[in-house]
Amino acid sequence: MTKNGSGDAGTFAGWHPLVTTVYYVSVIGFTMFSGSPLYLAVSLAAGLLHSVMIKGTASIGRSIAVIVSLTVLASAFNALFTHNGETVLFMVGSNRVTLEALCYGFVMSLMISAVIMWFSGFGSVMSSDKIIYVFGKAAPSIGLVISMIFRFIPLLRERYSEIHAGQTALGRGDLKGIAPRIRQTLKEVSILVSWSLEASIESADSMTARGYGLHGRTSFHLFRFDAIEAVRLALVLVLIGIASACRIMGAGVLYFYPVIRPGDTGLPVLIKAAGITAFTLLALLPSVSDIYGEYRWKRSE
């Protein structure tokens, strides 16, 4: 999705890399450690919307398929292998399948799905030059590794397609039987791994030859941290601060074992509302920014 006010080249993608990095770290970190079904549901919905704003509506089906698959697998695995809880649904042999374990697995699937959605947005918005700009001076090795990881994810897919097309041209793409197909797939994966390792060594040698990470080395960039970026950074920090403080005080706490019960019963309603409102605003910042950018662009036309 490459519109003029939204998408991977839209308004939010034009934020300063430092602000964008702080934003993603805040949202992903809070999602991973909140453990609250309400906060996780908000994070998943906002992350899915963010992914759609970047990649377009064509990505909805694939994203929903990933979410549903993770939900079913995590819920089933936790229910089958964790037998804590007092509400027994049924027995599998001598093992109990409890409602509490099933619900806890469902909540964990929300967390995993939400983190995947946000990392998908991070990989689209944070290009290699942005990552190196953010980590280049403080931690050059980490910045290089992160940029290579996100670069290799789509690159591996393209290289495997090339390898498979070459093997097919050699007459090895229409094999019959499960065993020959498995052997052929393993061979193609082996070629892909060898190719990728060789390319990684070449990239590392190239960056070393260019003096990457040396003291005093400068690099060209067009990023400018101005007053608007300072306001955006302050907004992100204030919202994540409010949400974290309310969460630490117990907002959204839900206990699953031995029975499902809320843990914020005695907490003032104002704190509960402030926590979920702050996190909702934080999670919707990219989408609101892109929608506003698209609106401004259409008005200018």
Q: How, if at all, do strands 95-98 and 254-255 pair?
A: unpaired
What phi-psi label fits residue 171: left (phi over 0), alpha (psi between -120 and 50 degrees) or beta? left
Asked if the bond preceding 37 is cis, omega within 30° of 0, the reply is no
**Full DSSP string of 256-285:** -SSS-EES-TTS-HHHHHHHHHHHHHHHHH
With a cut of 80, say whether residue 122 has pLDDT above it. yes
Q: How many CA atoms lie within 13 A of 195 on its CB side?
A: 15
Q: Give the C-alpha separation, 94 to 98, whole Å.
A: 13
pTM assigned to the model:
0.77
Structure confidence at residue 130 as a pLDDT band (50, 70, 90): confident
Helix (H, G, I), strand (E, B) or coil at 291: helix
| 82-119 pLDDT, tens digit each | 888 888 888 877 778 888 888 888 999 999 999 989 98
The stretch 226-242 carries a mean pLDDT of 94
